[in-house]
Amino acid sequence: MIYFDNSATTKMFPEAVQSYQTVSEQYFGNPSSLHELGDVSSKLLKQARASIAQQLGVQPEEIFFTSGGTEGDNWIIKGTAFKKQYYGKHIITTRIEHSAVNHAMDFLEDLGFEITYLPVNKAGQVDLAELREALRSDTILVSMIALNNEVGVIQDLEAIGEILREYPTVHFHIDAVQTVGKMDLKLGPESRIDMAVFSSHKFHGPRGCGFVYVKRGKDVTPLIHGGGQEMNQRSGTENLPAIVAMAKAFRLVKESEQATQHQLKQLTDRLKQGLHQYEQITVFTPEEASAVHIVCFGIKGVRGEVVVHALEEHDIYVSTTSACSSKSGGTSGTLSAMGFAPQVAETAVRISLTGSNTMAEVEQFLDVLDELYQNFDVIHSK
C-alpha cells in the first residue's frame, strides 16, 4: 500500500500509540480530582503542555487543548468576535480558507458581522496592498490559513505581520494545521501572530485532539463552559491519553523537522518533474511559496474522483482536495479563487506526503499513473 493522503490524516507514530495506551491503562485519574491519582494525571497534563510550548518557543500558559482544528478555528474566530464586538464587527479573511473557517464566518455574518474576503492571485497568495486597503478602524480580526490544505500555498506571514504591526488591536489568527514539520513557523513575543490552531492527527498523533496557541494578553471569549478546565477557556474533562500522545508525536516531528523537510522537497520535486511530462496534466501547486509535502494536479477532462478510485485499485491512496469537503461534491474553492475554470478545478487530485514516504513509492506512483494516463479514453479523444 502507498498512502499519499497525509494532509487528510496521518498514521499514528508507534511511540504515540504506546503513550496513549500507557496513560489510558495507568493514569486514569481525572486531572481535576484532589486525590493522588488526580494529582499524577494533572502533572502529566502540565508536562504535555510544557513540552509543546517548549517546541514552539512559547509559554505553557499560552497553550490550550482542544478536540482539533475545527474546534480551534471556531473558538478563535467566534471567541474574538464575541469579545471584541463592542470595538468593531469587521473581520478579514481569504477566499481559500478551510471549511471550518468559512462556515464560522457565515455564522458571524448572520449575527451582523461584516466579513471581507480577500482574493488571491494565480499563485494562491493574498495581495498585501489589498490587505492594507481592507483594514479599517473597526477591524477586529484577520484570519488566514498559513499553509493551504488543497494546493499547498504558503502565505507570507512575516509580510502580513509587518502590516498588522500598525494595527496592534487587531487579532491575527492563522490556521496552522498543515504546518507541523512542513514549514518553519515563528511564534512567541516577537511574532505578530496572536493565535494559531493545530490538530494532532495531522502530525501522527491521535484523532479528536488538538491545541491552540493564544498569545498572552489576547482575550478570547470561551465557547465551552463548565468546570473551568484549560484555565477557564475550554471546559470539559481533558482527554489525557490523547493529549500526552499528541505531545509525544509533536516532539518527534519537531526533532526531525529540518531533515524531513529536505526529504519531502526531494520527493515533491520528483513528482512535479514526472507530472510535467504529460501534455494533458496541469500541476496546480505553484512553484514558489508552496509546501514541501503537497502536490495538486489534474488530468484534463478526467474528474478528480475518477483518478482517485483508479489509483485505489492499485493500492495507492490519494484524495481530491480537502478530505473534510470531498464527499460534499463541488469543485475546489481554492482553485476557483486562483482563477481556474470549474471544469479544470473538478479534475484536481491531491498528493500529500509525510516523512515515512519514500522515493521508491513516488516512482511506483508515477509508473501506475503513466499506465492509467495512457488508458483514459478522454485523453485519446482530444
The residues that are catalytic are: 324
Q: DSSP string covering 264-298, please?
A: HHHHHHHHHHHHTT-TTEEE-S-SSSB-SSEEEEE
3-state SS class at 257: helix
Which of 3, 44, 9, 360 is closest to 200 using CA atoms? 9
Q: What angle do CA 296, 351, 146 make, to 5 degrees?
A: 65
CA-to-CA distance for 115 and 93, rounded, in angstroms? 7
Q: How many Cβ atoms sit within 10 Å of the Cβ of residue 2?
A: 18
Helices then strands (H, E): number in the chain? 14, 12
The CA distance from 204 to 250, in Å, is 8
Give which of 199, 106, 109, 188 is closest to 145, Cα–Cα.
Answer: 199
- Which 8-state DSSP code applies to residue 187? -
Q: Please give the Cα distance from 125 to 120 (Å, whole number).
A: 5
Give, rounded to a whole angstrom, the gap between the first and last alpha carbons of the chain.
33
Q: How far is CA 216 from CA 100, 148, 162, 195, in A?
A: 24, 26, 19, 10
Residue 96 C-alpha cell reads as: 481559500
Q: How far apart are CA 13 and CA 51, in angstroms?
A: 17
